[in-house]
Amino acid sequence: MTSPILVAPESSSVSDLKLTRSLLDSAVFYGVFGLLLFGPLTFGATEPWSIFVLEFSAALLFIVWLMKQAMSSELRITGNPLFPPMLVFAGLIFAQLMFGRSAYRYATFSGSFLYCAYGMLCFLAAQCLRRGSQVKKLAVIVSVYGSAVALFALLQGLAPNGKLYWLREPRSGGWIYGPYVNHNHYAGLMEMLVPIPLVYCFTRYAHGERRIIAGTAAAIMASTVFLSGSRGGMLALAVEMALFATALMTRERRPKAALAGGVFLLVILSVLTWIGGGELTSRMTSIGTEARTELSGGMRLAIDRDGLRMFAKKPVLGWGLGVFPVVYPQFRSFYTNVVVNRAHDDYLQLLAEMGALGFATMLWFLVVLYRSSIKKLDNWAINISGAISLAALLGCAGILVHGFVDSNLQIPANAALFYVLCVLAASKPLTESRRHRRSHRTEMQETGALPEAV
């Protein structure tokens, strides 16, 4: 007579399924942010092959996310307040293509693929970034990455040979700095990266060596914005620092915070003086002369006037996404043998290409961004959701200021990073472990933000 055998109800298969889902989740998380950091290294993802890598990789990561969802018992989608204006903008691009409102259908069709990649990366970032521990990992990764790129730019600036990575000569010339042909676009990258280690340095999550490393990384990265010679970048970074100082004075009243801020400024000044004091001084003193030249009829002001005339011809839906370099020669009011492929003003180019409807959608996007983000800034120094919102919002503010005089949002790597930062700034509060929640509550009670339990 045989005795019955007890079998566990498919415990091993359930465990394997959970492990597979966890691996796919990690693949999407590291894939999305790895792709965002890969783009700047490929000259800003401005060449056909690097644009293809960006678009193909975004689609592949989206398929991986779908596979992970198929393995789950239910579809789980994390919403974001910025998704509605993003969908409306996509609808406007679709309308340009469907109703023949684009002056060059191929350019608009290609641009739509690029914006689809931006949208997928934003969507995936919102789905895979849910825990505070992930943010801390990202802060460390970005600090190491940003300081490495900045150190490379410094080294390249000390021993330049007119080639990217000392190997490749740009086809149309440029002002090389770091991995970018245009120094303004390098400054745009650093404007978005600097606030991440800087804010992290002033939170409760950074202690001892971590705080010193994060602060040093932020200082080196900020220094290269000035050393790049980008006047728009200098202005944007100054606005970011002013906004951060406001947040610091509003929320922080501890001597350590003031001391850390002083050390940060000291490191920046030391690097600037040591490496490029004289050249930097001459570049900064030329800001007033350059501004007077532009206001009295410089090339950028002429392009702005021509762009407004473009908008006046097609004010509702514009000429079509990505067609500015094709249409602009019809409206150019000055002679030049240089191809004008961008408006050097992100807002004006958006107005000319997408019309009043596209511009209004952009304003809606920005209003939702700031309304959703500012709500989470209370106690940012001891709250991970507030910290990531502040860091992302500062980076977005820098690009928005810089956008008045340059075209960072026409550079795929910079644009992708900007839109993902916007989504992170406006995202829902992240989940923290019980230990961190208890620590958070204790610190809020100590600072008077939460009453003591009776």
Q: Given a cut of 80, is residue 439 above it in pLDDT?
A: no
pLDDT band at 258 (very low <50, low <70, confident <90, very high): low
Contact 98, 144 (CB under 8 A): no
- pLDDT tens-digit map of 210-243: 888 888 889 889 989 988 888 899 899 989 988 9
Nearest-angstrom CA–CA distance, 242 and 304: 28
- How many Å separate Cα 440 from the centre of its chain? 28
In Å, how far are 314, 321, 331, 422 from 308, measured between CA atoms? 10, 16, 10, 28
Nearest-angstrom CA–CA distance, 358 and 92: 7
What lies within 8 Å, CB to CB, of 158 at 6+ separation is 275
pLDDT band at 5 (very low <50, low <70, confident <90, very high): low
Query: What are residue 403's phi and psi, to 5 degrees?
Result: -65, -15
In Å, how far are 291, 393, 444 from 268, measured between CA atoms? 26, 22, 32
- Is the sign of the CA dihedral 430, 434, 435, 438 positive or negative? positive
- pLDDT tens-digit map of 262-273: 566 666 656 655
Contact 315, 289 (CB under 8 A): no
Closest CA to 189 of 232, 251, 139: 232
Closest CA to 136 of 415, 374, 447, 433: 433
Residues recorded for the chain? 454
Q: Virtual CA dihedral for 171, 415, 345, 149, nearest 10 degrees?
A: -60
Query: What are residue 448's phi and psi, to 5 degrees?
Result: 85, 5
State the average pLDDT over residues 55-76.
89
DSSP one-letter string for 57-123: HHHHHHHHHHHHHHHSSS------TTHHHHHHHHHHHHHHHHTT--SSHHHHHHHHHHHHHHHHHHH
Percentage of the chain surpassing pLDDT 90?
50
The answer for 6, left when phi > 0, alpha when psi is -120 to 50, beta otherwise, is: beta
What lies within 8 Å, CB to CB, of 362 at 6+ separation is 85, 89, 347, 350, 354
Contact 382, 438 (CB under 8 A): no
In Å, how far are 3, 18, 21, 62, 309 from 8, measured between CA atoms? 16, 17, 21, 35, 74
What's the pTM?
0.87
Between 451 and 436, whose confidence is greater?
436
Q: Given a cut of 70, is residue 261 above it in pLDDT?
A: no
Nearest-angstrom CA–CA distance, 34 and 28: 10
Q: Hey, which residues does 175 pair with through a beta bridge?
A: 182
Contact 356, 364 (CB under 8 A): no
State the average pLDDT over residues 191-199.
94
Average pLDDT over all residues of the chain: 84
Q: Given a cut of 80, is residue 98 above it in pLDDT?
A: yes
Tokens representing residue 138 in the block? 């990202």
Q: Encode burial over 324-344: b for 16+ CB neighbours within 10 A, e otherwise.
A: bbbbbeebeeeeeeeebebbb
Contact 227, 272 (CB under 8 A): yes
State the average pLDDT over residues 296-324.
88
The answer for 359, left when phi > 0, alpha when psi is -120 to 50, beta otherwise, is: alpha
Match 């969507």 to its residue by tokens: 123
Contact 116, 329 (CB under 8 A): no
Nearest-angstrom CA–CA distance, 128 and 112: 24
Nearest-angstrom CA–CA distance, 153 and 326: 33
